[in-house]
Amino acid sequence: MFTRAIVKTPAENFSSGLTTANLGQPDFSTALLQHEAYCQALRKCGLDLTELPPDPNYPDSTFVEDTAILTERCAILTHPGAPSRQGEVSEIRPTIGQFYNRIHTLTAPGTLDGGDICDADGHFFIGISERTNEEGARQLADLLLQEGYTASFVDVRPVPGILHLKSGMASLGDGTLLLIKELADHPAFENYQRVIVPAGETYAANCVRVNDTVLMASGFPQVGNLVERLGIPRLVLDMSEFEKMDGGLSCLSLRF
Ligand code: GLY
């Protein structure tokens, strides 16, 4: 069960962050409204929120998930793959220190973004991507093993249009994974129940299971039906302005 989440309000220069999406400039006031609706959804799932103020020094820093891996046993601070984002980690460290005594830190030359890590009930899938290199993945796997968890690697570099592993998958809990078809046959997933995202709805693969509920992006009815058939209640959120900045639902919070 999650009881808390850390979120960070988008800064006014949010649109000057990194993106490859080619969907146009995000509208800042709409992004703020969508962010507030996201926070409300987390509260509705029973989470206590720590809301950090906007930081214009780091326009991507609303995507807090990339800075840390939070587990029941420890926190692991990342070393993000984009140089413009690496300073986000020291900014968030004091907040994580309010909740964790046991904090590990990944170090260069390893790089790793939290968006590449999918926690499937204590087994961690670690994506190797444009942002997470093999050294960063290895450092994280070693730390997770020391802490009593298990991990496996998934190389997403050959999959077009995928920034992070969780741009193409989500753990829905109870041994079920939501996967884009390009990832569905990866050997790391063979012992899981696999629900495949229909073509054209890739963005909806980035769902988040928060306790008994799945948060998902609006505008993806086929994935909505698939989740509904699993019997998991859904909260559907408009994510249009974050999608323009290569961001998904999971990126906007650290849940623990
Ligand atoms: N804009 C999110 C990222 O590229 O890291």
Give 17 Cα–ligand 1 centroid separation in angstroms: 7
Average pLDDT of the residues of the chain: 97
Structural domains of the chain, count: 1
pLDDT on residue 201: 97
pLDDT on residue 85: 98
DSSP codes of every residue in 32-101: HHHHHHHHHHHHHTTPEEEEEPP-TT-TTTT-GGGGEEE-SS-EEE-B-SSGGGTTHHHHHHHHHHTT-S
| Site to substitute for ligand 1 among 19, 58, 61, 203, most atoms within 8 A of C-beta | 19
- 207-230 pLDDT, tens per residue? 999 999 999 999 999 999 999 999
| Site to substitute for ligand 1 among 18, 165, 239, most atoms within 8 A of C-beta | 18
φ/ψ region of 16 (left if φ > 0, alpha if ψ in -120 to 50, else beta) reads: alpha
Q: Please state the atom number of ligand 1 nearest to the C-alpha of residue 82.
A: 5
Is 164 annotated in the active site? yes
Residue 156 to residue 147: CA distance in whole angstroms: 25
- 59-81 pLDDT, tens per residue? 999 999 999 999 999 999 999 99
Going by alpha carbons, the residue nearest to atom 4 of ligand 1 is 18
Q: Residue 204: which domain range?
A: 4-255
Is 251 annotated in the active site? yes
Residue 3 to residue 22: CA distance in whole angstroms: 36
Q: For the domain that residue 40 is a member of, what is the CATH number?
A: 3.75.10.10
Collapsed DSSP state (helix, strand, coil) of residue 146: helix
Residue 38 to residue 61: CA distance in whole angstroms: 16
- For the Cβ of 26 lying below 6 angstroms from any atom of ligand 1, the answer is no
Q: How far apart are the first and last CA of the chain?
A: 8
